[in-house]
Structure formats: structure tokens, C-alpha cells
Structure 1
Amino acid sequence: MPPTPPDSGALRRSLLLVLLVVDAFLLATLELFYLPLRLDGVLLPRMGDVPVPVTVLVAAVTTPLLVTQTARLVHPRAAILPLVVWIATLVALGVFGPGGDRVLLPDWRALLLLAGGALPAALVLGGALGRRPVGTRGAGRGG
């Protein structure tokens, strides 16, 4: 009897999971490195040297989106992986950054980034884990 080929659905889900986790890593890296943006005339226009943590808004949108897509396309239990990778990347690069430099700012913007990305994603994760996967309607509930 010839060996059975791997399930193409499982392979597709695994590749999607890898892609979504890599996206979480890249987004956390970019959000962390662009967190110190200021209206100082270098990258943004000069308007009083005010901090503009625009990456907090990016994190508040993209991190829950990654969790939602992982729950929908891969499996609800796998939806925690993008969130864990995002937080681990923030902590690892922020504290032990490239070349040993501390990248995470010791001020309110760092807390805002962590809260802005992690809290909405955790809420979405809870909702995804609370739902039954598609195709299991009535399984184990007697009807």
C-alpha cells in the first residue's frame, strides 16, 4: 500500500500560520522602531517636537486582525500564536535590541503600545476561543 500524501488542507493551514506569525513579528518590529516618532521636522513635519505614537494605532488594528485571521483560517486555538509572538518580539527587541541597545522607550509610549496591541488582541482571542469551530454544531451536547 503506497504512503498517503499529506493532507493539502493541513499543509495550507500550516503555511498560513507561519505567514501570520511572521507578520506578527515584522509588525511588532516596525511598531517598536517607529514608536519614537516626533513632529520634529526629520521624518514628520515640524510642529513643536510633539511625540506622535502612530504605531499604537497600527498595533491596535493589526494585532487583533492577525488573531482573527488565524482563528478563522487556521484554528481558534492557534490564534494565540500571533499575539504571543507580537508580545515576545516587543519585549525581546525592546529590552535586548539589536547590538544590545535598549529600543523600548522608558515612558508612556511603551505602555501605550503594549496595551494598544495586546488588549484588543486578547479580547478578540477570547471571542475566538469562546466560539465553536465550524462543523461542530451540536457535537458533544446531545443534539
Structure 2
Amino acid sequence: MTVRNWLTLAVLVVDAVVLAVLELLFLPLRLDGYVLPYALGGVPVPASAIVAALTTPWLVSVAGKLSPKLLVAAAPLLAWIIVVGVFGMFGPGGDLVLIADWRSLLLFACGALPSAVVLGKVLATTLTPPR
């Protein structure tokens, strides 16, 4: 890999870290009239899960284009999982950022599962010889 590819990979990993932190901070978002308008009795809005489902697989696919190696392609996903786990359990000041309801599971599922599928696709297409 060239220096440019290493710098691009570093930017992708930093993006994954920043996105994981922001997704965790916006996880308790509700339609309660504080940040979003009041509607439907303050129903939770899983916007973080939607953002995770769109951005994390894209970061993995871009990293997979840099190098066919497993650790290079999986670096954004691994960084995202570590940050969600560590920052979610031991957040700023020791606060628990992961809330104890279905939105935490949805965030993890929407971020990790599509990214794992994309990682499998990247590895399958780069490791399989063309016919």
C-alpha cells in the first residue's frame, strides 16, 4: 500500500470513530419537543441506526478498495464496534451512553450487520480468482 492509501485508511477510521460517537449521542433522540417537534406522544426516533446502516458499510467498502487484506478492509468496522462498545459503556465522565432499550440493539445491528455483509463481499471478490 502506498502512503496515500494509508492516509485514506486513517481518515476512514477516524470517520468511523466520529460517526460512532455521534450515533451514540443522538441515540436517545425522541419526538418530545426539545430537539425535534412534539409528535405522537414523544415516540423514539432511531435516526442513529439509519445513519449507521448507511455510513458504516460505505466506509468498509471504500477501505476494501484500498487493499484486499482483511485487517485493512475491516478497520473501519472494527473501530466502529470498539468505539460503540467502549464509549457506550464507559462514556464521558463514566456515564452509560448506551440506553437500555431496543434502540441500542438496533444501532448495533444496523451498523455491524450490513458492514459485515459488505466486508464478506469485498473479501469474496478480491480473494476469488476471476474465471
Between the aligned partners of 1:51 and 1:131, the Cα distance in structure 2 is 39
Q: How many Å apart are 1:112 and its aligned residue?
A: 0.3
Structure 1 position 56 matched with structure 2 position 56: no
TM-score if structure 2 supplies the norm length?
0.93
Percent identity between the two aligned chains: 52
Between the aligned partners of 2:14 and 2:23, the Cα distance in structure 1 is 14
Deviations 1:83-115 (A, max 9, x none): 000000000000000110000011110000000
Question: How many residue pairs were aligned?
Answer: 128
Structure 1 stretches of 4+ moved >6 Å = none
Match of residue 92 from structure 2: 98
Higher helix fraction: Structure 1 or Structure 2?
2
Q: How many Å apart are 1:137 and its aligned residue?
A: 5.9
Between the aligned partners of 1:46 and 1:89, the Cα distance in structure 2 is 31
Between the aligned partners of 1:128 and 1:137, the Cα distance in structure 2 is 13
Larger Rg: 1
Between the aligned partners of 1:128 and 1:115, the Cα distance in structure 2 is 19
Greater relative contact order (Cα < 8 A, sep 6+): 2
Deviations 1:97-139 (A, max 9, x none): 0110000011110000000010000000000011127xx966x
Between the aligned partners of 1:59 and 1:76, the Cα distance in structure 2 is 23
Matches for 1:18-33 after TM superposition, within 5 Å: 18-33=10-25
TM-score if structure 1 supplies the norm length?
0.85
Higher strand fraction: Structure 1 or Structure 2?
1
